[in-house]
Amino acid sequence: MEYGFGVIGCGMIAKFHASAIADLPNARLVACFDSFPAAADRFAEQQNCRAYHDLKKMLADPEVHVVTICTPSGAHMEPAVAAAKAGKHVIVEKPLEITLKRCDKIIQACEKAGVTLSAIFPSRFHESSRLIKNAIDAGRFGRLTLGDAFVKWFRTQEYYDSGAWRGTWQLDGGGALMNQAIHSVDLLTWLMGPVSEIGAVTDTLAHERIEVEDVAAATVRFQNGAVGVIEATTAAYPGYLKRIEIHGSEGSAGLEEEDIRLWDFKNAAEEDASIRERMAGKTQTGGGAADPSAIGHHGHMLQFRDVLEAIETGRKPLIDGHEGRRSVEIILAIYKAAEIGKSVQLPLKNDPTLKARSKKKSDMIAAADAANASPSSEPVQEETPQTPTEPTNSHDQPAPETLKASNGDSQFQGEVAQ
């Protein structure tokens, strides 16, 4: 069967979804929706699909079987739940959502509707990640002892200023961890198993007018007894490829983006030499380390293929809603541990209350504007009247407050402010 896709949220990552869909023989992009109609129109023209200005109408389109959610992170839940209720299969960009409660609402809606749900983590589909996972499952590491994730990326101040939602608790849900390093947090817990305890420090050191962290360091205890660290930043100039390192009593493996950099086992296997050689030059892009759009769409394509196979055969996709929720829980525990200066045990019973969430980017911008608006002795020039112009890129969005109102979710602020 050919599956019709509808994309919700037509910004930066949506283009990668369109490319991934185009690469699949049994998938076709048929529709798109954006709360900002001009963005939907532009995307539809570029991608040759139908633009909808009303989500309900897109969800009533019988040619749409699967929707992919590409809205800001804290605005994933509303369209995901609406799509499930309309009987569509749902693929949600990372993070699944920004609180456990909102993740659970998506999971429950999809289970109730009997539709497939998948949370996007393309790195799990890379051959290098799968080789390490297979080696762990085959017991080649002996006793797992250390599992580390290092995400030393760089984002300019302009990046955070480019979208009203970026760097806010309400719609980004966090900073270097929740937006950028979550790919590595997911990979680490997939490889090492569930986390039982976390200690952490976080801070905002090199950016202004953001509510969230741009640097974080966490110590981790896994349920299997192994320990590890998670380091994440968007303030390490110029930005380096992300790394994962797994160690055990009988073996070690290390990933730098898609390249295998360490592959050493006490009990050597015949394929080890070819793995070292073949997997040394896999990385084709900047991995998003310095430029968010310097990524490929191959991992997305492999994940979409897995989802379609899951729908067709009735099995679970590799990354279902529960899998997607795991990294969100770990990151929320890191935020809590950093705030209270003590270790936090997992699983979390509820969403942690975070005082940091009371910071507001809009207040910071207003304060900065007020500080800059010092009285001047220069003659005041008459302002040229501004004609409203059509926004030119996906970042020309309403402020988070407007987005929240347009979501029509009266509980939203209460939940996030917990």
Ligand X SMILES: NC(=O)c1ccc[n+]([C@@H]2O[C@H](COP(=O)([O-])OP(=O)(O)OC[C@H]3O[C@@H](n4cnc5c(N)ncnc54)[C@H](O)[C@@H]3O)[C@@H](O)[C@H]2O)c1
Interface contacts to ligand X, rule CB under 6 A? 8-13, 34-36, 39, 70-73, 75, 79, 93-94, 120, 163, 179, 292, 295, 394-395, 397, 403, 407
**Pairing relationship of beta strands 215-222 and 195-203 according to DSSP bridges:** antiparallel
- Looking at the Cβ atoms of 272 and 409, the one nearer to ligand X is 409
- Looking at the Cβ atoms of 97 and 141, the one nearer to ligand X is 97
**Could you tell me the smallest distance in angstroms from the CB atom of residue 385 to ligand X?**
26
- Looking at the Cβ atoms of 276 and 395, the one nearer to ligand X is 395
**Could you tell me the smallest distance in angstroms from the CB atom of residue 82 to ligand X?**
10
d(CA 214, CA 358) in angstroms, rounded, equals 17
For tokens 């929320």, name the residue: 332
**Could you tell me the smallest distance in angstroms from the CB atom of residue 340 to ligand X?**
26
- Looking at the Cβ atoms of 247 and 298, the one nearer to ligand X is 298
State the residue number with the nearest CB to ligand X. Answer: 11
**Peptide linkage before 62 cis (omega within 30 of 0):** no
**Pairing relationship of beta strands 344-345 and 195-203 according to DSSP bridges:** antiparallel
- Looking at the Cβ atoms of 163 and 228, the one nearer to ligand X is 163
d(CA 244, CA 185) in angstroms, rounded, equals 9
**Could you tell me the smallest distance in angstroms from the CB atom of residue 289 to ligand X?**
12
Going through 72-194 in order, the beta strands assigned E by DSSP cover 89-92, 117-119, 144-152
Contact (Cβ atoms closer than 8 angstroms) between residue 293 and residue 12? yes
**Could you tell me the smallest distance in angstroms from the CB atom of residue 26 to ligand X?**
22
Contact (Cβ atoms closer than 8 angstroms) between residue 58 and residue 31? yes
Q: Is 206 exposed, middle or buried (0-12, 13-18, 19+ CB in 10 A)?
A: middle
**Could you tell me the smallest distance in angstroms from the CB atom of residue 92 to ligand X?**
8
- Looking at the Cβ atoms of 5 and 263, the one nearer to ligand X is 5
Nearest to 70 by CA among 109, 101, 29: 29
